[in-house]
């Protein structure tokens, strides 16, 4: 099979990494990198030995697929034009700024019969990939995502910047409609919400308590899931998975003892795994792990949390 011809639109901090991954993969040919700032594009292009462009529309006849890593406010316009041209799209999160825009992209991808994948990178963390076979019916989920302030994400609030990762994972795990949301937040370092706590209630009775902060002194990304037969802890940052189950003995009269195990995974390369998965979906005509529908679902919930915060 011929390598898939690719380009990256938006080659700032994260887009540069996208470009490097495509360049190193044999199943892809990186044709060009594009940025509205031609100097930035030329710098990355020079590193990788490819063409630079300041106008992505000039590249669309020469490529099969793109990563779109532009500011969130530009996601819809750029993705719509690429999908309309019949190109497969890996679109960074958050998918768009409105639900209507996200729906239009999903519908356009279906119409054009192309892959639309959303860049929720945490889904490719080896700790979360190992959780699927352990989950039955979660009853309560608690997640904490804390990071120091980073101006790169300040074009959106902390819900869209950080919490949306956990929202996406929780919606995928629970697989039931959200029926109630409560949320509180404060602005600390920016003019928008920097610390937010949200409580999600699901139709099947599960409750998720989700906290995100970009006003921390250090990074922490953890999630705890409780179900009838187990308590599962996930440390995304340190790639650790802990499983605690009821044992056959007694801790106290009438109370089962707890059998615990913990596994630490290799650091891996989540972005490389994400892009490899994107290319495999194109080659095999498969639905992505994080499809346009999944990105839309996470966006819808994140925007509803934001609406409640502003009441």
pLDDT tens, position by position, 260-280: 999 999 988 999 999 999 999
* Distance, CA of 103 to CA of 2 (rounded, Å): 32
Q: What is the pLDDT of residues 222-231, one digit of tens each?
A: 999 999 889 9
Of 118, 143, 247, 269, whose CA–CA distance to 200 is shortest? Answer: 143
- The residue-averaged pLDDT of 201-213 equals 98
- Report pLDDT for 187: 93
Q: Is the pTM of this model over 0.75?
A: yes
Instruction: Tell whether the model's pLDDT for residue 295 goes beyond 70.
Output: yes
Domain boundaries, the chain: 4-120+271-290, 123-267+300-309
Q: Which fold has domain 4-120+271-290?
A: Rossmann fold (3.40.50)
Instruction: Tell whether the model's pLDDT for residue 165 goes beyond 80.
Output: yes
Q: Beta strands 230-235 and 240-252: pairing type?
A: antiparallel
Q: Predicted confidence band at 253 (pLDDT cuts at 50, 70, 90)?
A: confident
- Report pLDDT for 133: 85
Instruction: Tell whether the model's pLDDT for residue 154 goes beyond 80.
Output: no
* Distance, CA of 102 to CA of 265 (rounded, Å): 34
- Report pLDDT for 246: 84
Instruction: Tell whether the model's pLDDT for residue 8 goes beyond 80.
Output: yes
- Report pLDDT for 196: 98
Residue in the structure block whose two tokens are 């037969």: 229
Q: Do 18 and 271 contact (CB within 8 A), yes or no?
A: yes
Supply φ then ψ for residue 64, to 5 degrees.
-110, -25
The alpha carbons of the chain give a radius of gyration, in whole angstroms, of: 20
- Report pLDDT for 153: 67
Instruction: Tell whether the model's pLDDT for residue 205 goes beyond 70.
Output: yes
| Residues 9, 15, 18, 24, CA torsion sign | positive
- The residue-averaged pLDDT of 81-104 equals 97
- The residue-averaged pLDDT of 67-82 equals 97
List 141's β-bridge partners, or say none: 208, 225
CATH among 3.30.360.10, 3.30.200.20, 3.30.9.10, 3.40.640.10 for 123-267+300-309? 3.30.360.10
pLDDT-wise least confident of 62-76, 143-157, 196-210: 143-157
Of 35, 30, 40, whose CA–CA distance to 63 is shortest? Answer: 30
Supply φ then ψ for residue 297, to 5 degrees.
-60, -45
Integer CA distances (angstroms), 115 to 18, 283, 291, in order: 17, 10, 8
């Amino acid at each position: 099979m011929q390598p898939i011809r690719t380009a990256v639109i938006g080659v700032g901090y994260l887009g540069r990494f996208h470009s490097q991954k495509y360049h190193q993969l044999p199943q892809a040919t990186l044709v060009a990198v594009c940025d509205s700032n031609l100097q930035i594009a030329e710098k990355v292009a020079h590193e990788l030995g490819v063409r630079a462009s300041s106008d992505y529309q000039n590249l669309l006849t020469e490529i099969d697929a793109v990563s779109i890593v532009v500011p969130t406010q530009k996601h819809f316009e750029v993705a719509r034009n690429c999908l309309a041209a019949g190109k497969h799209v890996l679109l960074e999160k958050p998918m768009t700024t409105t639900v209507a825009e996200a729906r239009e992209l999903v519908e356009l991808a279906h119409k054009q019969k192309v892959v639309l994948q959303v860049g929720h990178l945490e889904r490719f963390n080896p700790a979360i990939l190992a959780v699927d076979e352990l989950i039955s019916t979660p009853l309560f989920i608690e997640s904490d995502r804390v990071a120091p302030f980073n101006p790169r994400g300040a074009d959106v609030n902390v819900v869209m910047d950080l919490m949306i990762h956990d929202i996406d994972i929780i919606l995928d795990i629970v697989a039931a409609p959200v029926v109630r949301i409560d949320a509180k937040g404060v602005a600390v370092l920016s003019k928008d919400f920097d610390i937010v706590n949200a409580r999600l209630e699901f139709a099947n009775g599960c409750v998720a308590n989700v906290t995100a902060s970009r006003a921390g002194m250090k990074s922490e990304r953890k999630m705890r899931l409780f179900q009838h037969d187990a308590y599962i802890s996930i440390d995304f940052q340190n790639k650790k998975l802990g499983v605690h189950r009821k044992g056959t003995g007694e801790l106290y009269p009438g109370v089962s003892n707890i059998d615990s195990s913990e596994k630490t995974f290799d650091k891996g390369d989540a972005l490389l795994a994400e892009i490899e998965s994107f290319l495999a979906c194109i080659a095999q005509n498969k639905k992505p792990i994080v499809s346009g529908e999944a990105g839309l679902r996470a966006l819808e919930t994140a925007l509803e949390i934001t609406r409640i915060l502003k009441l």
